[in-house]
Amino acid sequence: MAITLEQVAKTSIDTLIDEAALQARVRELGEQLSRDYGGQDLLLVCILRGGVMFLTDLMRQLSIPHNIDFMAVASYEEGVRQSDGMVRITMDLLTDIQGRNVLLVEDIVDTGHTLSRVLDLLGTRLPASLRVCCLLDKHERREAKVPIDYIGFQIPDKFVFGYGLDMDQYWRNLPYIGVARSDPASGP
């Protein structure tokens, strides 16, 4: 069932990664990517919707020319916070990626099923190179083996939101990564 606005307003949030730490790491990633792709073609592919704030901040830290495009995938239904390994492409790229250097910009890699499916699909389109830049890596939850070339932060196995990531479609606007504070009254 959809969450009510009243429930949203009552959410207590703890900060997992604050705004300054996020911005500092995104700057480092931008500098590294600018070095690695210097003098080369670069197409950033953002997976909607969670990756969008990371993409726009990362773009501002790139000192090299690049293009962007978007795709959307659905890994699970609203209100269910567990990927089931079934991933659907719900919006495809507009760009022909054959012969392009593609960098996938992802918000978070959890089980890895979503990324694995997207990499398989894009690989069939014969890009010159296909790499992955993800902001958050929940390494201990991995089920599918996926190569990640650039990682912002390794995080523990907690459900996180903010900075583009949602909790029940809310809180994407937070400038930091948060976790819901568990209510001490509700026990361990």
Q: Which residues bind ligand 5GP (CB under 6 A)?
A: 50, 75, 83, 107-115, 159-161, 165-166
Query: Quick one: CA torsion of 140, 104, 128, 120, rounded to 10 degrees?
Result: 60
Pick 100 or 138: Cβ nearer ligand 5GP: 138
Options 69, 92, 96, 110, the catalytic residue = 110
Least CB distance to ligand 5GP at residue 176 (A): 13
Pick 46 or 115: Cβ nearer ligand 5GP: 115
Pick 72 or 126: Cβ nearer ligand 5GP: 72
Least CB distance to ligand 5GP at residue 127 (A): 20
Q: What are phi and psi of 31, to 5 degrees?
A: -65, -40
Neighbours of 163 (CB within 10 A): 26
Annotation marks residue 110 as catalytic: yes
HEC string of 46-114 equals EEECCCHHHHHHHHHCCCCCCEEEEEEEECCCCCCCCCCCCCEEEECCCCCCCCCEEEEEEEEECCCHH
Least CB distance to ligand 5GP at residue 20 (A): 21
Task: Tell me the catalytic residues.
Answer: 110
